[in-house]
A and B are shown apart, each in its own frame.
Chain A
Amino acid sequence: MGKPDISRRKFMIQSALASMGIVAGPAFLQTVRAADGKNRPLKAAFSNAGLQATWCAQGKDTVEQWGEWLGVEIHWYDGQLDVAKQRAAVDAMAAKDWDFVAIQSLSIGSLVEPVQKMIDKGIPVIAMDTMLAPWGKIKQHTFIAPDNVWMAEQVTQALVDAIGGKGKVVMTQGSLGHTGAQGRAQGFYNVIKRYPDIEVIDESPADWDVAKVAQLWENLLNRYKKIDAAFFHNDDMALAAYHVIKNAGRENEIVLGGIDGMPPAVQAVLDGKLHATARNSAARIHWGALVAGYYAAMQKEMPGKDIPEFILADGPAILPPSKEKTDKPWLLKGYGIGAGPGLLWQEKHFLA
């Protein structure tokens, strides 16, 4: 067996270079990948309430599209509309390493332990839509959410205007323990309390469940021979109630409004089935979280220093187009066209 044709010094130098290459190579590649954005160098985990909800499904589609644009590999942990299941999913998420994570918690405080574990590992955690914990309890990267009170105020005001500030009004609530539902109820009452001639005749919850809405509204239509307006905590419930009301032949009597501004509801406003909705932008919240995470990972933005603790994901109120004819459309709300058609386009393209 012959002696290898290599000196000890040469071997040492080559070994050192090879070791450096092994260590530095992936880092270099990652930088290059980050620059071209095609090979998904960043890994992010997302979890929202449950993909059975149209709002959440829209959020997931948005994140995946934006992830593709920005070169972020998205891993999804479905909350399945169940606090315990989401906790298990986020526990699994916390067992891995991520460049950043974004979570819409089903319930405040239910995910604190795994979230804290990720924060301790230096992973930026972005809260979406619902707070992860009471203010100050955990150091989340930022919190991106809509203003539930504002949205409810806009829709309720539109309903009140439509019935001339007096009459019998129903509020069909989401789940009573849900902070979004509580904010929407608050916004509803902020407006209603200014109108003494309005009587709130029912405020039963339907728990976001369209089957429960159908049953509740069949009973309400039987119990009350006159209902002037109804405010629903989301559009799915409003559309389910519209179907029941239409079957009862009372669709021209009751003015309906919801929240979320999902495409079927926006179309229903344009078609005159709903009077108003307000956009709770699943797209803005989800891509906002993705972009915040991207900057945290790539630019090392620090919470409280480079990014504020709360970012409002606002969305417009969607009302029917103005019937007024004018040559000065800039004097009309929404240029007389309203936000509907533009919003539909934006939703289709994962923007709003």
Chain B
Amino acid sequence: MSTPNDDSPKPTPRWRAFLAKSREFAPVWTLLALILFFSVYSDSFLSLENAANILNQVALLAIMGTGITFVLLTAQIDLSVSYMATFAGVVAAYYTAGHLPQPWPIVAALLAAGALGWINGVGTARLGIPSFMVTLAMSLIASGLSLYLTRGRILFELPALSETLGSGRIFGVKWLVIVAALTLLVGHLVLKYTRFGRYVYMTGASPKAAELAGVNTKGVITAVMVIGALTAGLAGVVGIGRLGSATPTAFDGMLIDAIGAVVLGGTSLFGGVGGIPQTIVGLLILGVLRNGLDQVSVDIYMKTLITGIILLAALVFNILFAGRKEA
């Protein structure tokens, strides 16, 4: 015989609630552990100047990562973003060298990147080609276009706006960081507070359910591919200003870091889970790790190995701490 007390829901113990909350913040604990580690082992790591330095270094990844977050949330992937960033930078420099009035070289760069993103979207959503394959092909197209336009040369004539946004400061803060923060903010607001943002999550979580609910999933996927390309293009346009030149391979190597940072923060590769706050944490984990290893004395032949081990450890920690939710 049951008593009335047996039927009522048992209150969740406080420690369990705390643990559940802690699990959500697994990447944050990883980040704090890294900060603590490098603060102990390096004299130069824990300073305001270096904190600003880390923000500068993750800024381009942040711009690119905003678009990648949209793409991953729909359970797609874009392997062409870093090559599109290079391409956009090359287009902006190419037309600047060709004396096209400003800001048209930048507009042309963003339009070109957006057009390539649209092709990615159409290929994925309308033609049904896996985004992995479409964007892999697009990475070659973007890379080939960069090479064709530069003929293997480095372009040093850059749009003034790129130089300002890439290297300039306002009130002591780099424009690059401000552009990155604004991009992340807009991305967050769109995902969190707009209907389109909800459609992105719905499309990634369950495309069939989303379609039954009346969501144009093909349109959503095409749109996120364009957003991914536009943020990559913006990263390229600003990035050439940071480097002081446009080379045919300038940002190609950022692909793994950009996708890695988003996933490291907790955005699922399988769609529907994650968001910009998670991306920010992932970016900071990667930024702190890369920066920290340069601040401590590590055998150069060991640096890549150590980076890999710490990244793997961070991922394992995230997954274990999060109760294998997204494994």
Which A residues form the contact surface with B (CB < 8 A)?
A: 51-54, 56-58, 60-61, 81, 173, 176, 203-205, 207, 209-212, 214-216, 218-220, 222-223, 236, 239-240, 242-243, 247, 264
1/0 contact string of B208-252 vs chain A (CB within 8 Å): 000000000000000000000000000000010011110111110
- Interface residue range, chain B: 35 or more
The answer to whether B153 and A239 have CB atoms under 8 Å apart is no
Asked if A204 and B154 make an inter-chain contact with CB atoms under 8 angstroms apart, the answer reads: no
Asked whether any CB of chain A lies closer than 8 Å to the CB of B50, the reply is: yes
> Are B253 and A220 in touch, CB under 8 angstroms?
no
Contact B244 A239 (CB under 8 A): yes
Tell whether A54 pairs with B243 under 8 Å between CB atoms, given A211-B254, A216-B294, A219-B291.
Answer: no
Q: How far is the CB of A163 from chain B (nearest CB, A)?
A: 22
Cβ A219 vs Cβ B156 within 8 A:
no
A52 near B53 with CB under 8 A, answer no
CB distance from A196 to the nearest CB of B (A): 20
CA distance A212 to B154 in the complex (A): 16
B152 within 8 A of A: yes
Assembled-state Cα–Cα distance A60/B151 (Å): 10
Q: Which of A52, A207, A209 has the most CB of B within 10 A?
A: A52
Give Cα distance in the complex from A56 to B294, angstroms.
Answer: 31
Q: Which of B49, B147, B249 contacts A222 (CB 8 A)?
A: B49
Query: Looking across the interface, which residue of chain B has its beta carbon closest to that of A57?
Result: B152
CA distance A165 to B154 in the complex (A): 34
How long is the Cα–Cα vector from A147 to B240 in the complex, in angstroms?
A: 33
Asked whether, in the complex, the Cβ of A215 is within 8 Å of the Cβ of B290, the reply is: yes
In Å, the complex CA distance between A72 and B169 comes to 53
Alpha-carbon separation in the docked complex, A212 to B303 (Å): 14
- Asked if B294 and A243 make an inter-chain contact with CB atoms under 8 angstroms apart, the answer reads no
In the complex, what distance in Å separates the CA atom of A137 from the CA atom of B75? 50
Contact with A along B138-179 (1 / 0, CB 8 A): 000001000100011110100000000001000000000000
Question: What separation, in Å, do the CA atoms of A288 and B208 have in the docked complex?
Answer: 64
Knowing A236-B154, A240-B245, A247-B167 touch, does A218 contact B250 (C-beta < 8 A)? no
8 nearest A-B pairs in the assembled complex, by CB-CB distance: A57-B152, A243-B244, A219-B294, A223-B44, A51-B152, A52-B249, A52-B248, A222-B53
Residue among B245, B254, B303 making CB contact with A239, cutoff 8 Å? B245
Q: How far is the CB of A271 from chain B (nearest CB, A)?
A: 12
Residues in A with CB closer than 8 Å to B303 are 204
Query: What is the bound-complex CA distance between A214 and B59, given in angstroms?
Result: 13
Chain B residues near A209 (CB, 8 Å)? 249, 253
Q: Contact check: which of B50, B147, B242, B250 meets A51 at CB < 8 Å? A: B147
- By the criterion CB–CB under 8 Å, are B152 and A204 in contact? no
| Residue ID in chain B nearest A58 by CB atoms | B152
Can you list 30 A-B pairs, Cβ within 8 angstroms, ordered by A?
A: A51-B147, A51-B152, A52-B152, A54-B152, A54-B154, A57-B151, A57-B152, A58-B152, A176-B300, A204-B303, A207-B253, A209-B249, A209-B253, A210-B245, A211-B243, A211-B251, A214-B242, A214-B243, A219-B291, A219-B295, A222-B49, A222-B53, A222-B295, A223-B42, A236-B154, A236-B247, A240-B245, A243-B244, A243-B245, A264-B154
Contact A240 B57 (CB under 8 A): no
Provide the B266-290 mask, 1 if CB < 8 A to any CB of A, else 0: 0000000000000000000000001
Chain B residues near A239 (CB-CB < 8 A)? 154, 244-245
B18 lies within 8 A of chain A by Cβ: no
Q: Is B15 an interface residue (CB 8 A)?
A: no
In the complex, the answer to whether A223 meets B300 with C-beta atoms within 8 Å is no
B residues within 8 A CB of A236?
154, 247
Chain B residue contacts of A176, Cβ below 8 A: 300-301
Compute how far the CA of A185 lies from the CA of B299 in the bound complex, rounded to whole angstroms.
16
Chain A residues, CB < 8 A from B243: 210-211, 214, 240, 243
CB-CB under 8 A from B30, the residues of chain A are none
Min CB distance, B47 to chain A, in Å? 8
Task: Tell me the nearest residue of chain B to A224, going by C-beta.
Answer: B44
Interface: B56 (CB within 8 A): yes
